[in-house]
Amino acid sequence: MERMKPAVLILGVFAIVAVLITGCATVPMPTTSAYRVEIDSIAMAGADLRGKSYVISSAMQEISDEDLRFKEIALYIENALKMKGYNRADNKEKAEILIRLAYGIGNPQTTTYTTTTGSGYAYQVGWWWQMVPPTTETVKQTTYQRHLVLEAFNLKTKSARLPQLWRTALSSEGRSSDIRTVLPHMIAAAVDYFGTNTGRKIPTSIEPNDPRVDDIKYGFVDVTKIEGSFLGIQITRLSDAVKWLSDEYAKDVGPNKKDDGVLVYRVIRNTLAEEMGLQKGDIILEINGKPVREPEDVKKVIHNLKPGEKITVLYWRFGHGKDVKTGYLK
């Protein structure tokens, strides 16, 4: 039995070495589907910006205000600023604020790391132990820097140079270079900080399926956020929604309905809307006998109601036609 000790000792040594090599061969690479965003915002002290009217202009020399991509991103900003109490003006003469918008995607940056694809091991050959090292694989990962900057200036000034009211800068690094996918997520993650003073860079993140992204893309109004209201739906203009409705649904809606009513995109659980039987895809035509053409029409009616008062909703449902639902605000 004593003669076996050297072999056992050698086996133990090689096993330890094999484990050490296996452990050192891997460089961990964090993976996540979330969009990570850094927010750096500064604002003029004491500025009351809610309810201000504004226009959006391109801050990029190579991109004009009429560029289709710019118009799309500007619409995302409009939907975000609406949540902050801002109103987009028809022209510069009617606006109080000029908002300059810039965005972009940086050049690809490639990093290389090593990952272990098989563990090392040792086997005995006579009195010797042959060690097989772990197998490794070199992986290249390409990422992109994504950025968006908003600058707000006071148009109601006699100064030759417009005073800056606030500036909000967003940055993100990730694998996607699709600006139409990335920017709505960045805006949704940062909208609460628009026009504020963060004092430093604020890190945050947002998941790809976060419902706030649809708020940015389609301009939804969460009626549950209206003071004194607990209806529980998210809605958008039907004219905006037609472009992403299914062909069958859009065809049944018909050209004469594209500008009338608002589309229910989401019904929040355990709310009056769910209790009344409203569903995703319903088109609200009237509330308490008043025509509904914009999300703001819904807000105005509900905002003026008190808990316990009756609410009657005339709506259109795909495949069923018009119907009426009734409930009482809680």
> What is the reported pLDDT for 6?
47
Give the 3-state secondary structure of the chain. CHHHHHHHHHHHHHHHHHHHHHHHCCCCCCCCCCEEEEEEEEECCCCCCCCCEEEEEECCCCCCCCCHHHHHHHHHHHHHHHHCCCEECCCHHHCCEEEEEEEEECCCEEEEEEEEEECCEEEEECCEEEEECCEEEEEEEEEEEEEEEEEEEECCCCCCCCCEEEEEEEEEEECCCCHHHHHHHHHHHHHHHCCCCCCCCEEEEECCCCCHHHHHHHCCEEHHHCCCCCCCEEEEEHHHHHHHCCHHHHHHHCHHHCCCCEEEEEECCCCHHHHHCCCCCCEEEEECCEECCCHHHHHHHHHCCCCCCEEEEEEEECCCEEEEEEEECC
- Average pLDDT of each block of 10 consecutive residues along the chain (330 residues)? 45 42 41 86 79 91 95 93 86 93 93 76 78 80 94 88 94 94 96 94 94 84 69 81 58 52 84 91 92 87 86 90 90
pLDDT at 24: 42
pLDDT of residue 102: 98
pLDDT given for residue 245 in this prediction: 58
Domains of the chain: residue spans and CATH: 35-108+143-213 (3.30.160.670), 220-328 (2.30.42.10)
Q: In the prediction, which pLDDT does 112 show?
A: 82
> What's the pLDDT at 169?
98
Residue 173 has a pLDDT of: 95
Res 26: pLDDT: 39
- pTM score: 0.64
